Amino acid sequence: MLDNRIKVEFISKSENEAFARVAIAAFASQLDPTIEELTDVKTAVSEAVTNSIIHGYNSEADGIIVIEAEICGNELSVSVQDKGEGIEDIKLAMEPLYTSRPDLERSGMGFTVMESFMDKVAVESEKGKGTKVTMKKIFKSID
Protein backbone atom coordinates (compact mmCIF):
# COMPACT_ATOMS: atom_id res chain seq x y z
CA MET A 1 0.00 0.00 0.00
CA LEU A 2 1.39 3.38 -1.07
CA ASP A 3 1.81 5.78 1.85
CA ASN A 4 3.17 8.82 0.02
CA ARG A 5 4.59 9.88 -3.35
CA ILE A 6 6.37 12.86 -4.90
CA LYS A 7 7.58 13.82 -8.37
CA VAL A 8 10.16 16.51 -9.06
CA GLU A 9 11.69 17.59 -12.35
CA PHE A 10 14.48 20.00 -13.13
CA ILE A 11 16.89 20.90 -15.92
CA SER A 12 20.17 19.03 -16.19
CA LYS A 13 22.40 21.62 -14.54
CA SER A 14 25.00 20.40 -12.09
CA GLU A 15 23.78 23.00 -9.58
CA ASN A 16 20.51 21.05 -9.30
CA GLU A 17 22.21 17.91 -7.96
CA ALA A 18 22.27 19.41 -4.45
CA PHE A 19 18.58 20.27 -4.73
CA ALA A 20 17.77 16.67 -5.64
CA ARG A 21 19.70 15.35 -2.62
CA VAL A 22 17.92 17.68 -0.22
CA ALA A 23 14.45 17.13 -1.73
CA ILE A 24 14.68 13.36 -1.43
CA ALA A 25 16.25 13.57 2.04
CA ALA A 26 13.37 15.79 3.19
CA PHE A 27 10.84 13.34 1.73
CA ALA A 28 12.59 10.34 3.32
CA SER A 29 12.70 12.09 6.70
CA GLN A 30 9.11 11.04 7.40
CA LEU A 31 10.46 7.50 7.86
CA ASP A 32 12.50 8.73 10.83
CA PRO A 33 15.81 7.56 9.33
CA THR A 34 19.12 7.43 11.12
CA ILE A 35 21.75 9.92 9.98
CA GLU A 36 23.55 7.03 8.27
CA GLU A 37 20.43 5.93 6.37
CA LEU A 38 19.74 9.49 5.25
CA THR A 39 23.35 9.93 4.13
CA ASP A 40 23.14 6.68 2.15
CA VAL A 41 20.04 7.88 0.29
CA LYS A 42 21.50 11.32 -0.39
CA THR A 43 24.72 9.82 -1.74
CA ALA A 44 22.91 7.36 -4.03
CA VAL A 45 20.58 10.08 -5.37
CA SER A 46 23.57 12.34 -5.97
CA GLU A 47 25.30 9.63 -8.02
CA ALA A 48 22.19 8.90 -10.11
CA VAL A 49 21.55 12.58 -10.84
CA THR A 50 25.21 13.21 -11.64
CA ASN A 51 25.17 10.26 -14.06
CA SER A 52 22.14 11.73 -15.83
CA ILE A 53 23.80 15.13 -16.14
CA ILE A 54 27.26 13.94 -17.21
CA HIS A 55 26.49 10.80 -19.20
CA GLY A 56 22.86 11.23 -20.22
CA TYR A 57 23.08 14.83 -21.30
CA ASN A 58 26.87 15.28 -21.71
CA SER A 59 26.83 18.10 -19.12
CA GLU A 60 24.52 20.15 -21.34
CA ALA A 61 21.83 22.07 -19.41
CA ASP A 62 19.16 21.35 -22.01
CA GLY A 63 17.69 18.13 -20.65
CA ILE A 64 15.09 17.30 -18.05
CA ILE A 65 15.69 14.96 -15.11
CA VAL A 66 12.65 13.51 -13.35
CA ILE A 67 12.82 12.09 -9.85
CA GLU A 68 9.93 10.14 -8.40
CA ALA A 69 9.93 8.84 -4.85
CA GLU A 70 7.45 6.62 -3.05
CA ILE A 71 7.09 5.40 0.49
CA CYS A 72 5.38 2.08 1.18
CA GLY A 73 5.60 1.05 4.83
CA ASN A 74 9.29 1.32 5.75
CA GLU A 75 10.56 1.20 2.14
CA LEU A 76 11.65 4.18 0.08
CA SER A 77 11.77 3.83 -3.70
CA VAL A 78 13.50 6.53 -5.75
CA SER A 79 13.71 6.65 -9.53
CA VAL A 80 15.90 9.07 -11.47
CA GLN A 81 15.07 9.30 -15.16
CA ASP A 82 16.49 11.19 -18.11
CA LYS A 83 15.73 11.25 -21.82
CA GLY A 84 19.39 11.49 -22.74
CA GLU A 85 21.82 9.29 -24.64
CA GLY A 86 20.98 6.03 -22.91
CA ILE A 87 23.34 3.19 -22.06
CA GLU A 88 24.37 0.76 -24.76
CA ASP A 89 25.60 -1.99 -22.40
CA ILE A 90 24.09 -1.75 -18.89
CA LYS A 91 26.08 -4.68 -17.53
CA LEU A 92 29.37 -3.08 -18.63
CA ALA A 93 28.31 0.35 -17.34
CA MET A 94 27.64 -1.12 -13.90
CA GLU A 95 31.12 -2.67 -13.63
CA PRO A 96 33.31 -0.96 -11.01
CA LEU A 97 35.80 1.50 -12.53
CA TYR A 98 34.08 1.55 -15.95
CA THR A 99 33.44 5.02 -17.31
CA SER A 100 32.20 6.20 -20.67
CA ARG A 101 33.82 9.60 -20.01
CA PRO A 102 37.52 8.98 -19.23
CA ASP A 103 38.19 12.45 -20.69
CA LEU A 104 36.60 13.86 -17.53
CA GLU A 105 38.71 11.67 -15.25
CA ARG A 106 35.56 10.03 -13.86
CA SER A 107 36.11 7.23 -11.35
CA GLY A 108 33.54 4.85 -12.82
CA MET A 109 32.11 4.07 -9.39
CA GLY A 110 28.65 5.67 -9.68
CA PHE A 111 26.60 2.47 -9.94
CA THR A 112 28.84 0.73 -7.39
CA VAL A 113 28.18 3.54 -4.92
CA MET A 114 24.43 3.32 -5.55
CA GLU A 115 24.48 -0.45 -5.01
CA SER A 116 26.56 -0.06 -1.83
CA PHE A 117 24.21 2.44 -0.20
CA MET A 118 20.82 1.16 -1.33
CA ASP A 119 19.19 -2.24 -0.87
CA LYS A 120 18.28 -2.63 -4.55
CA VAL A 121 19.27 -0.87 -7.78
CA ALA A 122 17.68 -1.53 -11.17
CA VAL A 123 18.63 0.15 -14.43
CA GLU A 124 16.53 0.41 -17.57
CA SER A 125 18.00 2.12 -20.61
CA GLU A 126 17.67 2.36 -24.34
CA LYS A 127 20.34 3.92 -26.53
CA GLY A 128 19.14 7.32 -27.74
CA LYS A 129 16.05 7.32 -25.51
CA GLY A 130 17.36 7.67 -21.97
CA THR A 131 17.89 5.88 -18.70
CA LYS A 132 15.87 5.18 -15.57
CA VAL A 133 17.59 4.13 -12.36
CA THR A 134 15.31 2.82 -9.61
CA MET A 135 16.73 2.44 -6.11
CA LYS A 136 15.10 1.02 -3.00
CA LYS A 137 16.06 1.45 0.64
CA ILE A 138 14.43 -0.41 3.53
CA PHE A 139 14.51 1.58 6.76
CA LYS A 140 14.53 0.23 10.26
CA SER A 141 11.06 -0.66 11.50
CA ILE A 142 8.93 2.32 12.28
CA ASP A 143 6.72 2.20 15.33
The residues carrying an active-site annotation are 47, 51, 106
**CA gap 12, 53 in Å, rounded:** 5
**CA gap 57, 53 in Å, rounded:** 5
* Nearest CA among 116, 98, 94 for reference residue 106: 98
Residue 130 Cα distances to 9, 29, 42, 68, angstroms: 15, 29, 22, 16
Taking the CA atoms of 68, 113, 29 and 73 in sequence, report the sign of the dihedral they define. positive
